[in-house]
Amino acid sequence: MASIYIFPGQGAQTVGMGYDLYKNNTSARAVFDAVDGALGEELSDIIFNGPMDKLTLTANVQPAIMATSIAMLRAAKLPMADYVAGHSLGEYTALCAAGAISIMDTAKILRIRGNAMQAAAPIGAGITAVVLGLDIDTVKQVCAQFDTDVANDNCPGQVVISGLKEKIEPTMAALTHAGARRVMPLALSVPVHCRVQESAAKAIKQALESIEIQKPTVPIISNKTAKPMTDPDEIRDALVYQMTHGVRWRESVLNMVDLGIDNLTEIGPGNVLSGLVSRTTDKITINKLEI
């Protein structure tokens, strides 16, 4: 049987995350210092001291969650798992953990990613909303009627949709009419993983051309295909693709079972992914790294 480390995406952040590690562990401190150096500013000060509205800015929160997750991993000094995976920005963290992208390059590309995502749509122009209580096929059918996109297929009964406000609002109403238990906007400043992000995808593609990506030490389960990948060119393509297409997390978890993975550890702030995994399968033992 096999093991996997998984890394969270945006929304897991809290002010003060990783501060005790920074104070007490030299390996963790080196991660935060490297990220500060890569960005040319003290992002660590925002992570540790806030304010929350500054931390949650897309350009800050993405490298912040990555830095905290990698700091936790390095402080724990765990042996590498057989696979890694990450949800949305967590895919970058997973690649860093597996040695495919350096910590400094990961911070730089996530800062570019955050800025590009915010620039893709004016604040208030887009909506990302969670749909509870409907299967993925029903959500896809309704989205097709309104030309909107599925952003995340998270677990059975939890799907996220995203797009421009004028299209998402009628989609939300139609999903409620179709039997959704609840449809509610998420506290995100940008619409994610949808066609609105086409300009951001172009920016990421250009930025990745100057970033060295090596073959990861272990396969990463892709948000694009829900299957393992190790080829650097495939990784570049997948990172660009996920900007405008949905994260296939439910399928990724089911494929983990098919790959013989029976032990999973979530590394990073929060435990959102552990919850999604537990609602998808009972065949994987779930652990949360506590430092």
**What domains, with CATH codes, occur in the chain?**
2-120+195-288 (3.40.366.10), 126-185 (3.30.70.250)
**SS3 (DSSP) at 90:** helix
Q: What confidence score (pLDDT) does residue 229 get?
A: 98
Provide the whole-model pTM. Answer: 0.97
Question: What is the distance, to the nearest Å, from the Cα of residue 217 to the centroid of all Cα atoms in its chain?
Answer: 20
At 195, the pLDDT band (50, 70, 90 cuts) reads: very high
Angstrom CA distances, 6 to 12, 73, 114, 227, stand at 13, 11, 21, 14
Detail the DSSP E strand segments found in the chain: 2-7, 83-86, 126-132, 149-155, 158-164, 182-185, 220-221, 228-229, 261-266, 285-288
Please determine, for residue 84, whether its predicted confidence score (pLDDT) is greater than 70: yes
Pairing mode of beta strands 149-155, 158-164: antiparallel
245 catalytic? Reply is no
Mean pLDDT for 28-35 is 98
**SS3 (DSSP) at 209:** coil
88 catalytic? Reply is yes
What is the radius of gyration, based on Cα positions, of the chain?
18
Mean pLDDT for 88-116 is 98
- Which residue out of 44, 69, 193, 274 is catalytically annotated? 193
Q: What confidence score (pLDDT) does residue 107 get?
A: 98
Structure tokens at 269: 């702030």
**SS3 (DSSP) at 10:** coil
Q: What percent of the chain has pLDDT over 90?
A: 95
At 124, the pLDDT band (50, 70, 90 cuts) reads: confident
Query: H or E element: which one contains 252?
Result: helix 249-258
At 171, the pLDDT band (50, 70, 90 cuts) reads: very high
Average pLDDT over all residues of the chain: 96
Structure tokens at 107: 């911070």
Detail the DSSP E strand segments found in 98-211: 126-132, 149-155, 158-164, 182-185
Phi-psi region of 16 (alpha: psi -120 to 50; beta: other; left: phi over 0): left
Distance CA 284, CA 274 (A): 10
Phi (first) and psi of residue 225, to 5 degrees: -110, -15
Per-residue b/e over 124-150, b at no fewer than 16 CB within 10 Å? eebbbbbbebbebebbbebbeebebbb
Give the DSSP letter of residue 79: P
Pairing mode of beta strands 83-86, 2-7: parallel
**What are the pLDDT digits (tens) for 42-82?**
999 999 999 999 999 889 999 999 999 999 999 999 999 99
Task: Show Cβ contacts of residue 96 under 8 Å, excluding neighbours closer than 6 positions.
Answer: 66, 70, 102, 103, 106
- Which residue out of 3, 44, 88, 162 is catalytically annotated? 88
Q: What percent of the chain has pLDDT over 70?
A: 100
Q: What confidence score (pLDDT) does residue 291 get?
A: 67
Distance CA 161, CA 237 (A): 22
Q: What confidence score (pLDDT) does residue 271 get?
A: 95
